Structure 1
Amino acid sequence: MPVTKIAGRALHVDDEGFLTAYDEWDPELAERLAAQIGIDLTDAHWKALSFLREDYAAQGETATLRRVSAVGGIPTKDLFKLFPKKPAKKMAYIAGLPKPHGCV
């Protein structure tokens, strides 16, 4: 697996830049990752990211957009506003998780 440096930290990533080591993530890193893709995190963003992290820990895979909406209780329309264009990929990237299955 490739290693990249962000904010002076060595991070393990896949070929698309998604983190591959769950424990290398922290909220400060999330802020940096979000800034790289033009997103300023708000409480609404953190609700989605927290759900993703908790769900991943319990399920062992990154939640799909449908799961975040149905189980996480965040309407799909809101997710598209928070994470414009490809919200599932952007949420996973910022949350330090693998790309969800089914994302191209």
Structure 2
Amino acid sequence: MPTATYDDTTVPVDDQGFFTDPGRWTEPMAEQIAREDGIATLTDRHWIVIRFMRAQYEVKGTGPTVRILGKTSGVGVKELYRLFPKGPAKTAARIAGIPKPRGCL
């Protein structure tokens, strides 16, 4: 199984770089993952989405779709695409240290 190293900690990831054990994730890791995905700085608005993704994963076992994210996270769909231009649900899930949401390509 592949691994990645963030914040001096090696963690198991899948072939696309998504954590396979979300319990190993820490907030300092998020900044490093975001930079890998082309996001230089995580703002308060990014963190709203990241924390929401983790909370949804804990409750449902998967991250929300973009549509659900836009309706229930407090961050609208247009802003989600500005914050996570490479794909909000997929990118936010990776930064949040959860597996890729169902339905993401």
| TM-score between the two structures when normalised by the length of structure 2 | 0.91
Q: 2:27 aligns to what? A: 27
Which residue of structure 1 lines up, in the alignment, with residue 59 of structure 2? Answer: 58
Deviation at 1:96, TM superposition (A): 0.4
| Paired residue type of 1:2 | P
Aligned residue type for 2:73: G
Question: In the TM superposition, what are the counterparts of 1:20-99 in structure 2 within 5 Å?
Answer: 20-39=20-39, 40-99=41-100
Take 1:6 and 1:26, find their aligned partners in 2: how far apart are those partners? 9
| Percent identical | 42
CA RMSD of aligned residues (A): 1.2
d(CA) in 2 for partners of 1:3, 1:85: 22
What's the offset of the Cα at 1:22? 1.1
Alignment partners' CA distance in 1, 2:6 and 2:73: 29
3-state DSSP class of the match of 2:11? strand
Provide the C-alpha distance between the structure 1 equivalents of 2:4 and 2:76, rounded to a whole number of angstroms.
Answer: 33
* Number of aligned positions between the proteins: 104
- 1:80 and 1:42 map into 2 onto residues whose CA distance is 14
Q: Unmatched 5+ residue regions in structure 2?
A: none
* Structure 1 portions without partners, runs of 5+: none
Q: CA deviation at 1:83?
A: 0.5
**Alpha-carbon distance in structure 1 between the residues aligned to 2:47 and 2:8:** 24
Local SS of the residue matching 2:95: helix
Counterpart-to-counterpart distance in 1, 2:44 and 2:8: 26
Query: What is the DSSP-based 3-state SS (H/G/I as helix, E as strand, rest coil) of the residue aligned with 1:23?
Result: helix
Q: Deviations over 1:69-93 (max 9, x none)?
A: 1222321001000011312111011
- Structure 2 partner of 1:5: 5
Looking at structure 1, the residues matched to 48 and 6 of structure 2 have their Cα atoms a distance apart, in angstroms, of 24
Code of the aligned partner of 1:37: D
